[in-house]
Amino acid sequence: MSENNNSKTLVALLGGALVGAAVGVAVGLLIAPEKGEETREKVKSKLEDLEEDMLNKVDDIIEKVSQKGAEVLQNLNTPEAEIVEDANIVEEETTKA
């Protein structure tokens, strides 16, 4: 359940970042003292930088989630392996008696 909450928080964080970036670009356009073409070039450059930053952050998040998933699978497999091992020991002791 905690993982689900973390996913929702992450989605909300990314959504908030995108909305904030859009608002920043809009405000920049409204108060820009430059010619339209110069402003468009600056906005384009900033959006490309933002896109690159967001993609890098998404890649980092995917890597962290993958690592956490591997840890969870490892933890799930360990108790199962221990139960099977314990069952085998009990079976061996039972057949010896």
pLDDT tens-digit profile of 53-87?
A: 888 888 888 888 888 888 877 777 666 667 777 77
For the entire predicted model, the pTM comes to 0.47
Q: Which two tokens stand for residue 81?
A: 């392996």
Domain that holds residue 62: 2-96
What is the mean pLDDT of the segment spanning 1-12? 70
| From 10-19, 45-54, 73-82, the region with the lowest mean pLDDT | 73-82
CA distances from 62 to 7, 67, 73 (A): 11, 9, 16
Q: Do residues 54 and 18 touch, judged by C-beta distance below 8 A?
A: yes
| Separation CA 86–CA 81 (nearest Å) | 9
Long-range pairs for 35-41: beta carbons < 8 A, 24 or more residues apart: none
Report the number of distinct structural domains present in the chain. 1
Pick from 19, 43, 48, 20: which is nearest to 31 by CA?
43
